[in-house]
Structure 1
Amino acid sequence: MAHATFLAALGFFVSLLPGQSPARKTDGALNQDVISTPFLYQIDGKGTSGFLYGTVHLPDKRVVTLPVSVVAAFDGSDRFYAEIEATPESEARGQAAAQLPAGVKLPQLVGADTWSRIEGQFIKAGYPAAMASALSGMEPWAVSSLLPMIDYLAELQTNPPLDKMLYQRAAADGKAVAGLETIEEQLSVFQGFSRDEQVTMLRDSLDLLDKYEAEGRKVMEEMIAAWMSGDSKTLVSLLDDGFGNDPEIRERAEDEILWKRNHRFAERIESEMSAHPDKTSFFAIGALHLPDAPAAEVGPDAPLTNDATPESRPAQLGVVELMRRRGYTVTRVEARKPEPAKAGK
């Protein structure tokens, strides 16, 4: 269930890490690319305004170095919202929920062959094999979520991902901070799948990582490149690999992780903006929550609610379009260049 789509959609993975990660081998190289067109939108209407920012939940330097337009919007906002609260209490609840029951270990659930493949991923990433052992007490969905970001596990122990960095900065600046959903609501996405289904998703994650390796591709590099491009179509193209191989599980995962949560986000963004009309709010959520599914799958009369019968799916709309259908004007914010230094400065 993991991969590029999964990672862009959820922001709490760092809270699942069981303790300090051992150091891994790295060449220390940094890519100095800049973001030309950030996924930043201004929301106006009904007597209030705010900003919507599509993020990637990673600590990569290219990601956490904010464009000028994002800094201006963030600094000019009074309230900040992430997907969930970035607090020790919330992270502790996430860690507890990701643990298997006492006496149950992941190698028993997945079998020797699959466990060996998990260990192999850590070894290829430059970690000691013992690192995988630290995950042996975690639920299959949690390990499936962490595998695609394996290159960042050590860095996540010391450097916060973009969303958490923004949350901490907002709190330090004295802004009101909150989450659009609770950690329990995010966890319910996974807990609705049986353990057997979770194991299937975990094996699909491993299959995709093997496929990418054989093709000479890096899943996180593709995600970062798509995000930095500012091109929604490029970003949405990563959906194709994002939800595994089983058609029924794939559809359910897509609905639970993206489309249903998009409706919830839009509803709560409107609620918060309405509750604080004289304040400017800044909402930071995973970038894949912003665009719609391919146009052919979204009708003009798609409902604004999460309601769906067993025979239907929730409207496959992104938060940008959902806010427009709620009566707001949502405008992409143009990139801004840094102001030139003044003489004598």
Structure 2
Amino acid sequence: MVGFTARLFRAVVLCVVSVVTVTATAATSVWKVSSGDNVVYVGGTLHVLRQSDYPLPPEFDRAYQHADKLVFETDLEQLHSAEVLQRMQQAVRYPEGISGLDKRVSAPLYQRIVRVWTQYGLPAEALDRLRPSGIVITLTMLNLKQIGVDAQGIDDFYHSRATADGKPVAGLESVEQQIRLLSGMGAGDEEKFMRISLDELDQSGGIINEMVAAWRGGRLADLEHLVIDDMRRESPASFRALMVDRNQQWLPQIDAMLRDRPVEFVLVGSGHLAGKEGLINQLQQRGYRVEPVAE
């Protein structure tokens, strides 16, 4: 569930990387951040992939081999536990006694939601009390599966590998924070959130091809255009809450990593590296040496 935004289909892949000057010629999504002799690697990930997208770009393995510890957005093992999955299912539903989505969007839009929902073979009654996040995540994951996006994302791939290799893993934020973000998606702007999300389902095949090709080829301007510009313009409050504020919460933790000797490999959705608010620019502004990891 990590990394969803109002531009949900594009954000579920989260493959935007930084557009600061140093990145202009760097065909990579992995960065080496240095403070004296201390090093942290930062990798921009895609949370979902196709089998054909493997093997991953070799700079990911280079960073992994140099790393003593892997750090993800959250504790992935806990995130996938039965207890947390149950809490997430509760988080994407309105409590009893609270108006449902049918009272929060226009009648024509709700009719469209029901139509799309049932086209995916889902019973209309299953919509009852679902928040926008529950509806859109369900439809997005079914849509991704239909177009062949059914492989492990980069985060899960390296979490599994680190576990097998005995490398320690950690998270930048708690599962509780993730659940709060999930329940709040689209809150207060349900009409726009649902309309945009449904529109993007219709464009899914082309979008996934564009995003993966741009990410793999390091075409940073294309990636920035595909996601970040729209997010800032169409949902500035969500952009701040889901991207900017989280980056600001993560930066002190990366500062601390750059004060110790173990080498960490931080893997986050690539949107978190993008633009002036992104981690790459912010780390440069802090005076660290930031350089792309070559193939």
* TM-score (norm. length: structure 2): 0.77
**Paired position in structure 2 for 1:17:** none
Instruction: Pick one of 152, 161, 170 that aligns with 1:178.
Output: 170
Deviation at 1:203, TM superposition (A): 2.2
Instruction: Pick one of 102, 109, 115 that aligns with 1:114.
Output: 109
Instruction: Pick one of 37, 40, 45 that aligns with 1:50.
Output: 40
**Paired position in structure 2 for 1:233:** 221
Relative to structure 1, the CA distance from residue 262 to residue 58 in structure 2 (aligned partners, 3 Å threshold; closer, same or farther) is same
Relative to structure 1, the CA distance from residue 324 to residue 146 in structure 2 (aligned partners, 3 Å threshold; closer, same or farther) is farther
CA deviation profile, 1:115-170 (whole Å, cap 9, x unmatched):
4433544566xx4244x765544321332345445422579997532212211221
Relative to structure 1, the CA distance from residue 138 to residue 155 in structure 2 (aligned partners, 3 Å threshold; closer, same or farther) is farther
Instruction: Pick one of 64, 84, 97 that aligns with 1:74.
Output: 64
Relative to structure 1, the CA distance from residue 133 to residue 56 in structure 2 (aligned partners, 3 Å threshold; closer, same or farther) is farther
Aligned residues: 274
Matched, 1:332 2:292: yes
CA distance in 1: counterparts of 2:128 and 2:191, whole angstroms: 13
Relative to structure 1, the CA distance from residue 191 to residue 151 in structure 2 (aligned partners, 3 Å threshold; closer, same or farther) is closer
| Structure 1 letter corresponding to 2:143 | D
Relative to structure 1, the CA distance from residue 68 to residue 181 in structure 2 (aligned partners, 3 Å threshold; closer, same or farther) is same
**Paired position in structure 1 for 2:271:** 288
- 1:218 aligns to what SS in structure 2? helix
Moved beyond 6 Å, runs of 4+: 154-158
Q: For 1:36-47, what aligned pairs fall within 5 Å after superposition?
A: 37-47=27-37
CA contact (8 A) 2:49 2:149 kept: no
**Paired position in structure 1 for 2:262:** 279
Q: For 1:202-241, what aligned pairs fall within 5 Å after superposition?
A: 202-210=194-202, 212=203, 218-238=206-226, 239-241=228-230
- 1:52 aligns to what SS in structure 2? strand
Q: Which moved more, 1:152-161 or 1:64-73?
A: 152-161
**Paired position in structure 2 for 1:311:** none
* TM-score (norm. length: structure 1): 0.67
Relative to structure 1, the CA distance from residue 151 to residue 321 in structure 2 (aligned partners, 3 Å threshold; closer, same or farther) is same
CA deviation profile, 1:193-212 (whole Å, cap 9, x unmatched):
774423431123223445x4
Greater helix proportion: 2
Deviation at 1:176, TM superposition (A): 0.9
- 2:28 aligns to what SS in structure 1? coil
Matched, 1:59 2:49: yes
| Structure 2 letter corresponding to 1:232 | L
Instruction: Pick one of 121, 127, 131 that aligns with 1:128.
Output: 121
Deviation at 1:105, TM superposition (A): 5.5
| Structure 1 letter corresponding to 2:263 | T
CA distance in 2: counterparts of 1:208 and 1:194, whole angstroms: 15
| Structure 1 letter corresponding to 2:59 | S
**Paired position in structure 1 for 2:88:** 94
Deviation at 1:93, TM superposition (A): 3.5
- 2:75 aligns to what SS in structure 1? coil
CA distance in 2: counterparts of 1:142 and 1:54, whole angstroms: 26
CA contact (8 A) 1:189 1:257 kept: yes
Relative to structure 1, the CA distance from residue 159 to residue 5 in structure 2 (aligned partners, 3 Å threshold; closer, same or farther) is closer
CA contact (8 A) 2:247 2:272 kept: yes
Query: CA RMSD for the aligned pairs?
Result: 3.4
